[in-house]
Amino acid sequence: MEIKRVVAGIYGANCYIIMDKKTKEAVVIDPGGDVDDIEKAINSIDANVKYILLTHGHLDHTSGVAELKKIFNVPVCISKKDDELIACGTQLYGPLLEGEADIHIKEGDVFSVGEISIRCIETPGHTPGGMSFIIDGKSVFTGDTLFYGSIGRTDLEGGDFDILINSITKKLMSLDDNIIVYPGHGPQSTIMNEKNNNPFLKNK
């Protein structure tokens, strides 16, 4: 598996390209802007994009979706709750597409990309429909739910601190300690590092 990170958009969100080296099939997670840079990164590894996956609906993670979909003509996947907030024009959500996303993802959904298995888990709190993606039991892409040494903000529309903490402690901290955490902003971490050092998770 090959993972490329592109820091995209005016808010510096992490867009990830995850490719199966054997088949060259790939997914793009959270294209938040700077589509030229994302397209260049995809072409640099000769990736065959199969899906665009979104951890949540905030504009810093979705602003490049429509343009990228036009280029690669692949399904866009997001939770129904966040897709509905985008459709309603909720502040700081979207833009996404005209109409709704191609696929509404939920807990337990699995995407196969080449020999890579991507499992969806619901991790609401930052947004009502926040999702994380576990890849082959070795990596988890957490969007704005969990960061290196921090957690997502909950003061925006649909945010809820208690729900966010529950998502992290029940869903993410129960994963294997060695799983690498790829967040929506900033550097990567591990589950063990966040258990031991994240100040928001002390005594949780």
Say what the pTM is. Answer: 0.96
Residues 134, 154: Cα–Cα separation, whole Å: 23
Q: Is the pLDDT of residue 167 over 90?
A: yes
Residue type, 182: Y
As given in the structure block, the two tokens for residue 82 are: 């966040």
In CATH, which of 3.20.20.80, 1.20.1440.230, 3.50.50.60, 3.60.15.10 is domain 2-201?
Answer: 3.60.15.10
* Domain range annotation of the chain: 2-201
As given in the structure block, the two tokens for residue 78 are: 């997001």
Radius of gyration of the chain (CA): 16
Percent of the chain at pLDDT above 70? 99
Q: Please, are residues 37 and 62 in contact by the beta-carbon 8 Å criterion?
A: no
> Which 3 state secondary structure label does DSSP give 29?
strand
For 47-80, give one letter per residue: b (16+ CB within 10 A) or e.
bebbbbbbbbbbbbbbbbbbebbeebebebbbbe
For 154-166, how does the pLDDT look when each residue is reduced to its tens digit (9 = 90+)?
999 999 999 999 9
As given in the structure block, the two tokens for residue 11 are: 């808010």
DSSP 171: I
- Our CA angle for 28, 58, 179, nearest 5°, is 50
Q: Is the pLDDT of residue 187 over 70?
A: yes
Which pLDDT score is estimated for 87? 92
Residues 101, 96: Cα–Cα separation, whole Å: 8
Lowest mean pLDDT among 20-34, 46-60, 84-98, 176-190: 84-98
Which pLDDT score is estimated for 204? 63
For 23-49, how does the pLDDT look when each residue is reduced to its tens digit (9 = 90+)?
999 999 999 999 999 999 999 999 999
For 96-107, how does the pLDDT look when each residue is reduced to its tens digit (9 = 90+)?
777 789 999 999
Q: Is the pLDDT of residue 183 over 80?
A: yes
